Chains A and B, each alone.
Chain A
Amino acid sequence: EQLVESGGGVIRPGGSLRLSCVASGFRLEDHGMSWVRQVPGKGLEYVSGDLWNGRERGYADSVKGRFTISRDNANNSLSLEMKSLRVEDTAVYHCVRGGTGGSGNDLWGQGTMVTVTS
């Protein structure tokens, strides 16, 4: 079972990026999924998440209106569309699987780095 993120990079403030996460070894449709970000050496910040059926579970205030989570169960993938990027969005973005039966986030991808800089 594995989650692999891609799509990170260096981007100017105000720019856009789309992160992708491909799941293998399990069916995405059986799980709620999240994006969690972490500035190296700092804490964890929940960005957004959704339920197995695609219903959103909310966005952090810091990204509301700028980021959009979506999933493609047929292709076992999760995405995060990020617009109007800010310097403070710089972080490693992890794709995270919610365990079944409310058992917490039990599988984390290694993450993709997003650097917003002028």
Chain B
Amino acid sequence: QQQVKQSPQSLIVQKGGISIINCAYENTAFDYFPWYQQFPGKGPALLIAIRPDVSEKKEGRFTISFNKSAKQFSLHIMDSQPGDSATYFCATRPGSNYQLIWGAGTKLIIKP
């Protein structure tokens, strides 16, 4: 079973700081990299996604950085706010005929 390894498991960041969550995958066939955000008691919701033909995608304070040679992708949250406190999941897939494979999740706490 192919995997995606997400780190750290938990993260505490001060308000206004940068939150960084990393994911590593196993082979270069992986071709789609979304990040989902989940608040307590809710289902996950798509935050931002990237394809491997670009190295970075930015939406507001959220940026995905993609390193194809290292087989890693990261979520950066700039100017982190208490409302960003949630669990974040990375996901990917080894090709168009496959379902998403999910990371284990990172619980992010932003301290005021």
User: Is B one of A's binding partners?
Assistant: no
A interface residue numbers (CB < 8 A to B): none
